[in-house]
Chains A and B, each alone.
Chain A
Amino acid sequence: MADKPSDAEILEGLSEIVEEVAGVSPDDVTADKSFVDDLDIDSLSMVEIAVQAEDRFGVKIPDDELANLKTVGDAVTYVSSHA
Chain B
Amino acid sequence: MTTLNQTTGPTATRILGVGSHQPERIVTNDELSLHMDTTDQWIRERVGIAERRFSAPDEKLVDMAVIAGSKALADSGLSPSDVDTVILANCTMPHPIPNGAAQVADRIGVKAAGAFDLNAACAGFCYSLGTASDLVRAGSAKRVLVIGAEKLTDWVDPTDRSNAIIFADGAGAAVVGPSDTPGIGPVVWGSAGDLVDTIGMNPNPAGGNKVLYQEGQSVFRWATTKIAPIALRALEAAGITPAEVDVLIPHQANLRIVESIAKKLRANGAREDMVVADDIVYSGNTSSASIPMAMDHMRAAGRIKPGDVALLVGFGAGLSYAGQVVICP
Chain A residues close to B by CB (< 8 Å): 42-44, 47-48, 50-51, 63, 66
- Chain B residues with a Cβ closer than 8 Å to the other chain, count: 11
Interface residues of B in 171-220 (CB under 8 A from A): 215, 217-218, 220
| Residues of A close to B220: CB separation below 8 A | 44, 47
B95 within 8 A of A: no
| Residues of B close to A43: CB separation below 8 A | 217
Q: Is the CB of A44 within 8 A of B215?
A: no
B260 within 8 A of A: yes
| Residues of B close to A42: CB separation below 8 A | 45-46
Number of A-B pairs, beta carbon distance below 8 Å: 22
Q: Is the CB of A48 within 8 A of B46?
A: no
A48 and B224 alpha carbons, distance in the complex (Å): 8
B35 within 8 A of A: no
CB of A82, distance to nearest CB on chain B (Å): 17
A43, A50, A63, most chain B CB atoms within 10 A: A63
Main secondary structure of the interface of A (DSSP, over half): helix
A66 and B143 alpha carbons, distance in the complex (Å): 49
Q: Is the CB of B217 within 8 A of A66?
A: yes
Chain B residues close to A by CB (< 8 Å): 45-46, 215, 217-218, 220-221, 224-225, 256, 260
CB of A69, distance to nearest CB on chain B (Å): 13
B45, B215, B221, B256, most chain A CB atoms within 10 A: B221
Ordered by A's residue number, 22 sampled pairs between the chains whose C-beta atoms are within 8 Å are A42-B45, A42-B46, A43-B217, A44-B46, A44-B217, A44-B220, A44-B256, A47-B217, A47-B220, A47-B221, A47-B224, A48-B224, A48-B260, A50-B221, A51-B221, A51-B224, A51-B225, A63-B215, A63-B217, A63-B218, A63-B221, A66-B217
CB of B253, distance to nearest CB on chain A (Å): 12
CB of B200, distance to nearest CB on chain A (Å): 16
CB of B280, distance to nearest CB on chain A (Å): 15
CB of B316, distance to nearest CB on chain A (Å): 17
| Residues of A close to B46: CB separation below 8 A | 42, 44
CB of A44, distance to nearest CB on chain B (Å): 6
B217, B218, B260, most chain A CB atoms within 10 A: B217
CB of B311, distance to nearest CB on chain A (Å): 22
Other than A42-B46, A44-B217, A47-B221, give 9 A-B pairs with Cβ distance below 8 A. A42-B45, A44-B46, A47-B224, A48-B224, A48-B260, A50-B221, A51-B225, A63-B218, A63-B221
